[in-house]
Amino acid sequence: MFADSAKIFIKSGKGGDGHVSFRRELYVPNGGPDGGDGGRGGDIIFMVDKGLNTLTDFRHVRKYAATNGQEGGKRRCHGKDGQDLVIKVPEGTVIRELETGKIIADMSGDNVRETILKGGRGGNGNMHYATATMQVPKYAQPGQDGQELWVLLELKVIADVGLVGFPNVGKSTLLSRVSNARPKIANYHFTTLNPHLGVVDLGDQEGFVMADIPGLIEGASEGVGLGHAFLRHIERTKVLIHVVDAASTEGRNPVEDIRAINGELERYDPALLNKPQVIAANKVDALFSEDEDPVQRIREAFEKTGIPVFAISAVSGQGVRELLYHVYGLLQKMDEAPTMFEPEFDRSSLIAEAPLPYTVEKLEDGIYGVEGPRIEKMLGYTNLDSEKGFEFFQNFLKKNGILDDLEKAGIQEGDTVKIYGLEFDYYK
């Protein structure tokens, strides 16, 4: 089963925690702090694999996580970094943030490898926090959390030209005649389930990539039938060829078919109508009526709007060469680079800084100590003698969870809190 969309959960690794330890060597009874830093968490990396052409594998495995960084060790030993996770996808895969639908990355063109989620940074060991006022820091920084996202993967084929039309009008037959593609061809009313790509070789190193886009049914823009699966693949193409059954072998009206398809394109994304269009009036080998020329009727309806009409037979090859060279001429006037979708999602919103460490400990009955680099820094610029400054200091302790940790340690009203030579009575 061809799959051109999938929802998956991705998570980068957490950074390893910094370590708390002190040098303990012969003849060095009171060595300084030597706790090492934690390792970096693994990244989530997407990479194009040109051997893939479907997202089927993602229907079976939904969750992907890189490994966490290792905790730092004694003697300034750095924790081992987490292993990156490389996720391979087909060329043309667009990665969207699931909730907002915003584009994170387009794995097309030169963008063959991209880091989507960065692993968390490792926390600093206590060797970083020795100061003149705190020579034996008993705290280390925790590792930064990894990032996580639910993402939607969408495969949008990379082709210069897209064949569009209702089922059974001859798109697959045309593609097989003009290219190296070998799509399954049969007289059936159900739509092709997956896009087929073929290289059209015009000689002298001239040519282009053509795709037989899955057939359309009315209501596709609302997701009826294959719906968005059809329309998704049109977004990257540069020129659209409407293939219609000019002979109306199954009673279809080719003029109304073209209008129905353009209506679906407009409802899905009005910008799709800005693409150059060409009409291939197919099955002219099956025309037997001498009273009316259906190809002329199609020309009268659309050539006045600037859409050229070519009478062709995908079976016999009649008119096909003229069609291909006209399309090639249109492509020559356009940018050769594949259509790329620009990123819209702000990944910086996923980054949460690891908090600076602190310790809360019971020194003796009724006396508790609080230490930490951020607390020491805050005291340096806060005037505790003013009412406003002291209120700021209390809010700081509450906001950072220090008051909660004091209560967990068993502090009671009236007990003393010591912070870098300052003493405070604890009251709720």
Kindly report the number of other CB atoms within 10 A of residue 233's CB atom.
26
41: tokens are 């968490």
Output the CA–CA distances (angstroms, integers) from residue 152 to 106, 141, 262, 355, in the order listed.
12, 34, 27, 31
Q: What is the DSSP string of 182-199?
A: -----S-SSPPSS-EEEE
| pLDDT, position 19 | 92
Contacts of 190 (CB under 8 A, 6+ apart): 167
Alpha-carbon distance of 69 to 81, in angstroms, equals 5
| pLDDT, position 374 | 79
| pLDDT, position 23 | 81
| pLDDT, position 107 | 92
Alpha-carbon distance of 263 to 276, in angstroms, equals 16
- Give the distance, in angstroms, between the CA of residue 59 and the centroid of all CA atoms in the same chain: 16
Contact yes or no for 194/172 (Cβ under 8 A): no
| pLDDT, position 340 | 81
Burial 47-86 (b: 16+ CB within 10 A, else e): ebeeeebebeebeeeeebbbbbbbbbbeebbbbbbbebbb
| pLDDT, position 302 | 92
Output the CA–CA distances (angstroms, integers) from residue 428 to 261, 379, 421, 425, in the order listed.
70, 21, 22, 10
Q: What is the DSSP string of 291-313?
A: S--HHHHHHHHHGGGT--EEE--
Contact yes or no for 33/130 (Cβ under 8 A): yes
213's enclosing H/E stretch is none
53: tokens are 């052409």
299: tokens are 């020309």
Q: Which ranges of 124-227 does DSSP label H, i.e. alpha helix?
A: 171-178
Q: What is the DSSP string of 46-76?
A: EEE-TT----GGGGT--EEEPPPPPPP-STT
Listed residue (176, 162, 177) closest to 216, CA to CA? 162
- Max Cα distance, the chain (Å): 112
Helices 320-332/171-178 angle, 10° precision: 80
Tokens 């400990």 found at = 361
Listed residue (150, 124, 146, 149) closest to 137, CA to CA? 124
| pLDDT, position 119 | 94
Output the CA–CA distances (angstroms, integers) from residue 272 to 28, 90, 156, 312, 358, in the order listed.
75, 23, 14, 25, 57
Mean pLDDT, contiguous 10-residue spans, the chain (428 residues): 77 93 72 88 94 83 95 91 95 91 90 94 87 78 91 86 85 82 44 67 81 63 52 84 86 88 86 92 79 84 92 90 92 81 84 79 87 80 79 84 87 85 81
Q: Which ranges of 60-219 does DSSP label H, i.e. alpha helix?
A: 171-178
